Amino acid sequence: MDLEIKDKVALVTGGSKGIGLGIVRRLLAEGAKVANVNRSTAEGEALQEEYAAQGQDCFFIQGDLTDLNACEHAVDQARTKFGRIDMIVNNAGVNDGAGLEDGPEAFLLSLQRNLIHYYAMVHYALDDLKASRGCIINIGSKVCETGQGGTSGYAASKGGINGLTREWAIDLAPHGIRVNAVLPAETWTPLYEKCLAGADDPQAARAEIEAMIPLGRRFTTIEEMADMVVFLASPRSSHTTGQIVFVDGGYTHLDRRFTSTNETELNAK
């Protein structure tokens, strides 16, 4: 299927690793031009060089998005490079464990890491998005629905992302701008692999998590996340807006009698 995004310009935050990198690679595979905003210079420049060798644009913009000036600079740089912005993928963030005991300053910093720059990027690119009748994809997390414990800032940020997605879908519909959110749950990323590597038995820890994922008893892949994001960003989903889409193998919402039941027993019923 041609997703009809060839030569469209996407501004992606946190596009040098994990889910963000998967999104960048899928956009480029579909012929889009990408501006990738990331803190790590080495990773961003390496990705830019990789695609430049293939004749594709993966323009790296260095910036710490907790700084509002960096957000505005990133939008300006993307506009200067490509002359337009057709889509924004707000992806950058970190589950930083800012809990109730850590105090208001830690909570505020977590909001800056995970929520404030979502608003800032769209605010600074708003005229561009109106001109292109573009779209916004916000990457959230199942934590906003389920809670996790010990991560108040991250949970509040992800809940805020859902709220902004619905709010912006209303605000921007008259301009033809679509806004959707994509939420992962248990997605197999290098960071997740690194976290499980610290367990006494990493394979057993992984199997325990996978047993709770109804569809296929496996982690979601980065590629599956990216495919959903890029489809929603494309004209192929031209009448979809204000939606919060879980790509999680049924982990978040399906009945716990299923997720906690041995699959052999379940199939025998």
pLDDT digits (tens, 9 = 90+) for 118-127: 999 999 999 9
How many domains does the chain contain in total?
1
- Would 201 be classed as within a structural domain? no
* C-alpha neighbours within 13 Å on the C-beta side of residue 11: 35
Known catalytic residues? 154
Which domain range does residue 127 map to? 9-188+221-252
Over the stretch 31-63, which tens digit does the pLDDT of each residue have?
Answer: 999 999 999 999 999 999 999 999 999 999 999
- Would 2 be classed as within a structural domain? no
Q: Which of 256, 223, 261 is nearest to 146 (CA)?
A: 256
For the residues 113-118, what does the mean pLDDT come to? 98
- Would 245 be classed as within a structural domain? yes
Q: Tell me the Cα Rg of the chain.
A: 19
Predicted local confidence at residue 262, as pLDDT:
54
- Would 199 be classed as within a structural domain? no
Predicted local confidence at residue 1, as pLDDT:
85
Q: CA distances (Å), 187 to each of 12, 118, 219, 222, in order?
A: 19, 21, 5, 7
Predicted local confidence at residue 269, as pLDDT:
44
Over the stretch 5-24, which tens digit does the pLDDT of each residue have?
Answer: 999 999 999 999 999 999 99
- Would 54 be classed as within a structural domain? yes
Predicted local confidence at residue 263, as pLDDT:
53
Predicted local confidence at residue 255, as pLDDT:
78
Predicted local confidence at residue 268, as pLDDT:
45
Phi, psi for residue 255 in degrees, rounded to 5: -55, 130
- Would 168 be classed as within a structural domain? yes
Are 96 and 154 in contact by the 8 Å Cβ rule? The answer is yes
Over the stretch 141-178, which tens digit does the pLDDT of each residue have?
Answer: 999 999 999 999 999 999 999 999 999 999 999 999 99
Give the chain's end-to-end CA distance (angstroms, integer).
39
Distance of CA 132 to the CA centre of its chain: 22
- Would 40 be classed as within a structural domain? yes
Cα(53)–Cα(239) distance, rounded to whole angstroms?
Answer: 36
Q: What is the CATH number of the domain that holds 36?
A: 3.40.50.720
Secondary structure class of 82 (helix, strand, coil)? helix
* pLDDT of 237 over the 60 cut: yes
Q: What does the block give as tokens for 268? A: 């025998």
* C-alpha neighbours within 13 Å on the C-beta side of residue 238: 6
Please, what sign has the CA dihedral across residues 8, 119, 239, 131?
Answer: negative
- Would 210 be classed as within a structural domain? no
Predicted local confidence at residue 266, as pLDDT:
46
* pLDDT of 260 over the 90 cut: no
Cα(163)–Cα(169) distance, rounded to whole angstroms?
Answer: 10
Over the stretch 164-215, which tens digit does the pLDDT of each residue have?
Answer: 999 999 999 999 999 999 999 999 898 888 889 999 999 999 999 999 999 9
b/e per residue 57-80 (b: at least 16 CB within 10 A): bbbbbbbebbeeebbbbbbebbbe
Predicted local confidence at residue 194, as pLDDT:
87
Secondary structure class of 32 (helix, strand, coil)? coil
Q: What is the 3-state secondary structure (H, E, C) of 229-265?
A: HHHHHCHHHCCCCCCEEEECCCCCCCCHHHHCCCHHH
Q: What does the block give as tokens for 29? A: 């595979």
